[in-house]
Amino acid sequence: MQTSIDNAIEIGVKTYQEYEYARLMTSIFKNVCQQLKEHIGRNCLPYSNTIATQWLSAHKDVDSPLKWKRKHVVAMAKALEVLDDIIQNGRVTNTLKPSLDRVPAYGRLPSWSRELLDEYLSSLQTVYQPNTIRLVSNHCSRLMLALDNGGIQQPSDITPQVIEEYFVTDARSSQAQHKGAQRCIIKFLIFAGLMESPPPKPLRTSREFLYSVSPSVDELEETVQAKFKAFSNNDKHALEASLEKYDEASASLLKILEENKYSADTMETADRILRKFKSFLRINSYPYSYALSLEWVSYIQSKMQNQNDYNKYRRIMLSVHEVMTTGDLTTRAFSSRAPKYLLHDWQTSLLDQYLAYRNQEQCAESTQKGIRYACSRFFSFLNREGIEAPKDITPELLYKFNLWDEHRTIAGKNLYSSQIRLFLRYLGEKGLVPNTLELAISYKFAQNENVVRTLTEDQVEAIYNYRDNAESPLDLRDSAILLLALRMGLRRSDIANLKFSDVSLKKRIIMIAQQKTGVALELPMPVDVGNSLYRYVRDGRPEQAACEQIFVRHSAPYTKLTAGGIGERIESAILEYNDTPIKGLHIMRKTFASSLLRAGTSVHIIAPALGHASFDNVDKYLSTDDTQLRKCAIGLDGIEYMGGYGL
């Protein structure tokens, strides 16, 4: 027997008050039920839940004469749900809850589980937004409250079987919510050390999203299992010790990223990847090893379609390994290519000794790289010929190497040959090869004389237009770099290393020690160069940058630009104002020298301005002075063209 609307309203009001709902909620219930009663009576309609729902839907419209506020419509729908519950059952069954049951799950947790959850939530403060942390808290609180109601009184009582049962019985409004809850809870349990392996049986919902990057090895293909199981270790002490070391390195890495002002997104990504790998280790009871981390990243690559995501995983794993082994992170870019030349142990040892010897000369870093590359190329040839010791190197073999060692330019051939001669001389001094063996390497080849290319007037004008329109921090930086190269002829290595102490705005000079030669250089600084430098430092240089160099990266880490980084954006910047691309920054140094020469500046002034020790190095720029070259034209007197085959 159905209860009348009047009685239902009376019962509902009492229940709202008894369950300690807010007075606004009670008032909304009473008012909406009264309006529904008037609507039914006015239209002579019987009560039904369908009619009530249609009536509410009709008045949700903005043009409704009742002009209900949209924020109250949800409460009104709830009121009609309560009304129908009372009419059908004579009382409130499950549509309203007592005040105690409405307390969030977190507020009803026992102390042991709340302390555990608080510790986990505090670890997320630096990498997650408050809304995300609130969602994680809700999911995990719901789990811990269910476990408490199920008789779980301490962490040691939590088992994979208990978690599996919770997931199966936990009711959610959607599959996505169920998966989201699983993801949050699994991370929490592994963080707390309460779950070292996944549930033994598949859950009712798919676990693929959970273990796609932190998989249980037993669930993978046999070929993949074999690769991972090579790292298995039953020593629990070794597992815990390696995880402790991994945790310390992970914390140090995150601190380094934070100190270098990396973005919150980067911090969150790094923390997530580090935790996923730790989950993988715990789930499969594997101790940490560098080789295992690379195998894990390789497995991830096979599952990912986005190469950028794979690169993030790879970089984080390589970074945490570097922090673990060195205590710091100094590598800015990890090469994704395999070494071009693979050396044997005896070759690596010899090369390291030789580099240490050459380092006594205080060679520049670029010179050391050139030495390593040239010698590695030579060792690669020796391996191809089956040479296993220096004593087996013969003049005939070096002659064969000379023919085999091809280069795109004569200058490159000369450079590599001269470095290999010096290396053979070192081996001779050590008594490993005959002292005269170096003479078998020829390193003087005919040079090609190329016409010096300089910027056109339109390209120079494009640079000034770019400078005049620079507004963004990157544009301000790049325009200052362009003017230093164009107006002062500085090499990109010197621009990259330019320090605040090298520049005197008051005296209008720049004083540097050249990176290539180590020779001191003092140059007058044009006003427009000084203005561009000042504007960049004032308006464009990141405040986070703390290094002594002027030009820095504009994203974390805010360190100085490398010589390779100088000019990376130059070509695209100039193309905005000129259709002809500019290849490299060195052409501006050539333009600077040529402009001085065309202006009648003496070679004795140009050479020091470029930092050259010899005046001969300026001779090549003579070809750019068309006006003076025309004065050197040679007449054809005595070699006139006669016509016919006699010429």
Q: Could you read off the pLDDT of 294-334 as tens digits, one per residue?
A: 888 888 777 766 677 788 888 999 999 999 988 888 877 66
Q: Comparing C-alpha atoms, which of 447, 393, 401 is closest to residue 425?
A: 393
> CA-CA distances (angstroms) from residue 160 to 48, 56, 138, 196, 199?
48, 47, 21, 9, 5
- Say yes or no to pLDDT of 468 above 70: yes
Q: What tokens does 75 get?
A: 């409460």
- Say yes or no to pLDDT of 394 above 90: yes
Q: Could you read off the pLDDT of 133-177 as tens digits, one per residue?
A: 777 788 788 878 888 887 877 776 776 667 767 766 665 545 555
Highest-pLDDT range among 64-78, 176-190, 466-480, 563-577: 466-480
Whether 345-440 shares its CATH topology with 457-627 is answered: no
Q: Are 552 and 561 in contact (CB under 8 A)?
A: yes
DSSP letter string, 136-166: HHHHHHHHHHHHHHTT--SGGG--HHHHHHH
SS3 356: helix
Q: Are 585 and 567 in contact (CB under 8 A)?
A: yes
SS3 549: strand
- Say yes or no to pLDDT of 445 above 60: no
Q: What CATH fold (topology level) applies to the domain 345-440? A: DNA polymerase; domain 1 (1.10.150)
**Confidence class for position 645, pLDDT limits 50, 70, 90:** low
Cβ neighbours for 636, distance < 8 A, ≥ 6 positions apart: none
Per-residue HEC secondary structure of 466-479 comes to HHHCCCCHHHHHHH
Distance (Å, whole) CA 279 – CA 300: 14
SS3 556: coil
- Residue 368: predicted pLDDT: 84
- Say yes or no to pLDDT of 212 above 50: no
From edge to edge, which strands make up the β-sheet containing 520-524? 503-504, 509-513, 520-524
Distance (Å, whole) CA 456 – CA 459: 5
pTM for this model (two decimals): 0.52
Q: Please check whether the domain covering 105-211 is classified as CATH 1.10.150.
A: yes
| HSE value, Cβ hemisphere, 13 Å, CA-based, for 473 | 12
Q: Could you read off the pLDDT of 580-626 as tens digits, one per residue?
A: 666 677 888 888 888 887 777 777 787 777 777 666 666 666 566 66
Q: What CATH class has 457-627?
A: mainly alpha
- Residue 205: predicted pLDDT: 37
- Residue 575: predicted pLDDT: 63
Count CB atoms within 10 A of the CB of residue 549.
Answer: 16
Percent of the chain surpassing pLDDT 70: 77
Q: Would you list the domain boundaries of the chain? A: 5-102, 105-211, 229-326, 345-440, 457-627
